Amino acid sequence: MAKYILEEVIKMNKTLTCEKCGQVEFGLVDGYCFGDRLLEDVMFEVRLDLKGKFKVKISPDSKDYFEELNTKKWLKTALDYVKEDDLLICPKCQDHRIPINQPKGFKPLPIKTIRFDDLMRELK
């Protein structure tokens, strides 16, 4: 039981959550933030891998545009930017509402586990 709860907490901390829409598959970063006009309106998708590390990829809509650019270089620049960023754009509501890089990082929150009979005693 307790193990199950802990696993859930870890899992939750590795997903991205919009303050308005709830859990989202990925967050977005506008290339303009680090590439200026060259990357204006180019969106990068940001995901978390199983270890809680950021993964950045170019949004499918912008792939054609990127054929002429140094994709590898810009993906690295995007990743460096994301590591310092605090809010990603939500793909659903298009608002900056996905908090990342909180001071505590993505470590699981300490949660108090309690035995069922202790809980019943406390409720009495």
User: Residues in the site for Zn ion, rule: CB under 5 A?
Assistant: 18, 20-21, 90, 92-93
* Sign of the torsion formed by the C-alpha atoms of 34, 49, 25 and 68: positive
Smallest separation, CB 60 to Zn ion (Å): 19
Residue nearest to Zn ion (CB): 90
Closer Cβ to Zn ion, 39 or 90, answer by number: 90
Question: What residues are paired with 16 via a beta bridge?
Answer: 24
Smallest separation, CB 89 to Zn ion (Å): 9
| CA atoms of 26 and 6, how far apart (whole Å) | 23
Smallest separation, CB 68 to Zn ion (Å): 32
Structure tokens belonging to residue 94? 């298009």
